[in-house]
Amino acid sequence: MKLPREVIIGKNVLERVPEVCGELRLGKKVLIVTGETTYRIAGGRLASLMNDSFEVEIEKIGEASEKNVKNVVDISKKIKADFIIAAGGGRVIDVAKLASKIVGIEFVSIPTAASHDGIASAIASIKNSRGVTSRAAEPPIAVVADTEIIKSSPYRLLASGCGDVISKYTSVKDWMLAKQVKDEEISEYSIAMSEMAAEIIVQAENEIPQRGEAAIRKVIKALISCGVAMSIAGSSRPASGSEHKFSHALDILTEKPALHGEQCAVGSIMAMYLHGGDWREVRDALKNIGAPTTAEELDIDSRLIVDALVSAKKIKPHRYTILEHLNINKDKAEKAARYTGVIE
């Protein structure tokens, strides 16, 4: 099991990145991967901080595509980078995570938003011609989460991150179902971590919208805990069940998907209903946080919500969830979506 060696969360901790990289003896030559917007928010400042003691190259990327991964791999090799720093959102982190694994060097994760649990996980979501695939990578050697930077990102991103964490309630339920029905091996430790992360976010449902320092820290810690839970399990099982399959199906079906955490959260309301669990608790927590709970709020057609719930079974078919268990068809999907108020 591989885990981050250093996790630093707090105000203005961006300034500590050079010190952290030095202590971890990562080498002299660093490639900073960042985005257009995130360069202005963090990447540029980080580059000047690093310049004093490191040789710095910067690469700005857009989407998390195979093309961009190859691009970052090629540059890393060309400049003989000792390590990579990802300063940006989910896409930047995903690309850097996979590229560093391919090159065989370490990477440091500097999230500029707390929008999903990829911050510290070993799994990268990468776009290719067939849609989005989850690729095995390595977790970051260090995570430096500057709460001032994350606080200034749009609230929608933070709410989406909360949605990703709350959706673990059903990821865990799906895994336990697979244990019961298919005798799949489970990891109690990682299940406990995932559930605890979801619990902490639900308990802070009224505090999070105020975006205080303590609340931001809670969300970041919860997202990192989910990444660690996956590392302990050796798979994404504790953090990705039927609700994630639903979100991946939506990514394929819709031209303009909502955010990952938003889609998983809505999927989780319906999955919890299908499990016979307390789906209202899930929905109410999301409502209080300000995350979407309906098709309309996701800005996705009701028909596609039903289609995605049905076709989700085709995503990672080996992963047994409540969708396979109940053999969800169009009627059952529609009933679940209507009953929970996801569609009208």
Give the residues lining the site for Zn ion (CB under 5 A). Answer: 164
Closest approach of Cβ 248 to Zn ion, in Å?
10
Rounded to an integer, what distance in angstroms lies between the CA atom of residue 246 and that of residue 170? 12
Beta strand 131-136 with 123-128: parallel, antiparallel or unpaired?
A: antiparallel
Rounded to an integer, what distance in angstroms lies between the CA atom of residue 279 and that of residue 236? 23
Tell me whether residue 243 or residue 307 sits nearer to Zn ion (CB atom): 243
Query: Which of 169, 148, 167 lies closest to 159 in space, CA to CA?
Result: 167
Tell me whether residue 21 or residue 228 sits nearer to Zn ion (CB atom): 228
Closest approach of Cβ 25 to Zn ion, in Å?
32
Closest approach of Cβ 323 to Zn ion, in Å?
16
Cα angle 319, 222, 313 (rounded to 5 degrees) comes to 15
Closest approach of Cβ 247 to Zn ion, in Å?
7
Euclidean distance between the first and final Cα of the chain, in Å?
Answer: 45
Closest approach of Cβ 135 to Zn ion, in Å?
14
Tell me whether residue 265 or residue 274 sits nearer to Zn ion (CB atom): 265
Tell me whether residue 164 or residue 324 sits nearer to Zn ion (CB atom): 164
Going by C-beta distance under 8 Å and a sequence separation of 6 or more, which residues neighbour residue 68? 61, 62, 95
Residue type, 159: A
Closest approach of Cβ 290 to Zn ion, in Å?
18
| Helix runs in 204-241, H state only | 213-233
Rounded to an integer, what distance in angstroms lies between the CA atom of residue 123 and that of residue 74? 21
Tell me whether residue 82 or residue 94 sits nearer to Zn ion (CB atom): 94
Helix (H) or strand (E) holding 189: helix 188-203
Rounded to an integer, what distance in angstroms lies between the CA atom of residue 220 and that of residue 208? 12
Answer yes or no: are the C-beta atoms of 114 and 223 closer than 8 Å: yes
Going by C-beta distance under 8 Å and a sequence separation of 6 or more, which residues neighbour residue 189? 229, 232
Closest approach of Cβ 198 to Zn ion, in Å?
12
| Helix runs in 39-154, H state only | 44-51, 66-78, 90-103, 147-151
Closest approach of Cβ 244 to Zn ion, in Å?
6
Tell me whether residue 138 or residue 164 sits nearer to Zn ion (CB atom): 164
Tokens of 317: 């078919």
Residue nearest to Zn ion (CB): 164
